[in-house]
Chain A
């Protein structure tokens, strides 16, 4: 009774906008980006094929290695601080009641606020002379520290802000993982005389391992894409101390008009993020198989 030719026609109609849109604005650019990474182009004269030159130049450019190191330092530091913090908060929050809902909302405020606005106020908090942070540290007899103007402290300042912005996101994901753990498990554990810590260690942690891993990978990927905070607060400085992959990509492409190099940076970043995603998928399948 279903007419197949007609069904195919309507399926095409329904799919057409997404097919065209995702094709034109995602697939073509991702391929073009790869192609451009083998070219030299300043957007004015026609692009020139240069083979692997962009990648070779990157490999021998000390700034590239610095940027890469910065990106890794930023991403891993954010994750190392954010994930345990988020897990701790989620465990503390894993109970019923309206108070918890209010807390959840509060922790989520930074997640839904634009990084530009957040950077604005943190810029002011980090102000060496009149900022809130140094005023606070002065009470403890520390400082003053010239946060964003110091090669030593600019990166930690960005990391702290990154953790502050995203901890609520990780926390909510953890919370949903915790809520899926059956109360029977805890009951059995406490009958066996397990105290809170060993309950956490032997029930919560193993049960939440897949979520933990997911959150770690997702926060790493998010941190690898950092741009807004760097643009707003340090412009990659001082002395490239906070120059990270996407910011350098932006500079190369839209300040220096080196399209080929920008595309090569994009593909290095893509490679790293893709690897992380694939690792996540593989291990997730394994875990799902183990649970079943």
Chain B
């Protein structure tokens, strides 16, 4: 009976896995097809001849490299910024005494309940008042802060051994030095979790960069891709479009595959908040 059950389980899992993979493989296959192959009926999944030229054409049709670099810059800066701001606040909440600590922490937690879409209109207004529309400031600065990272890293710092802290204090370290030199280096796994989460989230985010960018050279990859797709009127060059899609997908997938362990840990941390 156990064997039948395993068989059913693996069949179910395999069918599911195929349906997960088909769209990705279809994207990859189409990115290498000539228009004749793309519009063949019935569709043929194997591109022959392989048209690598689609990638070259896509990069020439739109400033894909620029979009890519924009995404990379914005995601990297946001990730580093979140790591710094969140770990600082998390250390204070976990290891220090100050008035209104509990209510302040709850206030931060409460912000996790606000859907970001509620804030886009006033944030846009704020950005235009600051003159930040269509600049990296608008793409990066609002994303540098957040409660999720504080929550995640606080859990970690709560487990930081007090003896280390005391020893450092006796050596004359002030709390900032203890945080920076002693506590932070021990928190690398939690920082990795936050970093991977933030990077993938920022890399994929769409609504905010769509709203705050106007000129082509400021677009991030998702916004650039959306505009690229919108630029086709009568017939879409699916080969080129899918080539651009593949280019946009690979970095986030690579980061996920490398840091999968930390990513899933972060997911768990998010699911046990109460």
| Contact surface of A with B, Cβ cutoff 8 Å | 2, 4, 6-8, 10-15, 17-22, 24-30, 32-33, 36, 43, 85, 88-89, 91-93, 95, 99, 103, 105-110, 112-118, 120-125, 130, 132, 135, 138, 164, 167-169, 172-173, 176, 196, 211, 214, 218, 221, 224-225, 227-228, 231-232, 246, 249-250, 253-254, 259, 262-263, 266-267, 269-270, 273-274, 277, 281, 284-285, 288
Contact = CB atoms under 8 A, between A and B. Distances in A.
Interface string B239-274: 001100100110011001100100110011001001
Contacts of B146: 22
A103 B13 contact: yes
A288 B16 CA distance: 33
A95, A125, A224 interface centre (most CB from chain B within 10 Å): A125
Given A173-B271, A281-B274, A89 B13 contact: yes
Contacts of A232: 226, 229
Given A32-B125, A105-B257, A273-B115, 6 more contacts: A109-B256, A116-B206, A120-B245, A225-B117, A231-B226, A250-B207
A246 B222 contact: no
Nearest to A31: B122
Given A225-B117, A273-B115, A7 B271 contact: no
A173 B264 CA distance: 9
Contacts of A25: 119, 123, 126, 141-142, 145
B208 to A, nearest CB: 11
Interface residues of B, number: 93
B200 A112 contact: yes
A145 to B, nearest CB: 16
Contacts of A259: 121, 125
Interface in B145-159: 145-147, 150
Contacts of B238: 124
Nearest to A91: B9
Contacts of A173: 267-268, 271
B85 A270 contact: no
